[in-house]
Amino acid sequence: MTLEEYDSMFDITRGVYFALQEAAKQLTDGGRIVSISTGGTSMTIPAGGAYAGSKAAVEQFSNSLAKELGDRQITVNTVAPGVTDTDGLVLEQEEVDRLITQTPLGRLGKPSDIASVIAMLVSDDASWITGQNIRATGGIV
């Protein structure tokens, strides 16, 4: 990874930090915030240290914000998707097949799988869930 690539990755993380800060200002009491991380923060991924590190920062931003906004009944959580079948999946097919065999559910995630977790977290049913990192990984740990 070049310095420019590293800076670009952490520029996105910086953007998440300030977006969270603005959300905290704009949300009314009882609101919901959900950040997106990666299942890679709990798994060792070859050559993935910088990416996992940038997403781990997002997790910590969110955990801290959950404590800061709790008195306003605003929940803040993170969703950490596992390998999800999107156009952004840049793994060789052999690696994808290997990951599928490691997933107890025997498939890649779908965007709708991740969206369902987010929908649950923003619902009234999740009003007691805050400061959590929900790993939506199909069981890969």
The rounded distance, in Å, linking the Cα atoms of 32 and 132 is 13
Tell me, yes or no, if 6 is annotated catalytic. no
Question: Among 51, 120, 136, 140, which one carries the catalytic annotation?
Answer: 51
Residue 24 CB coordination number (10 Å):
16
HEC secondary structure over 106-131: CCCECHHHHHHHHHHHHCHHHCCCCC
Angle between helices 3-26 and 49-69 (to 10 degrees): 10
Active site residues: 51
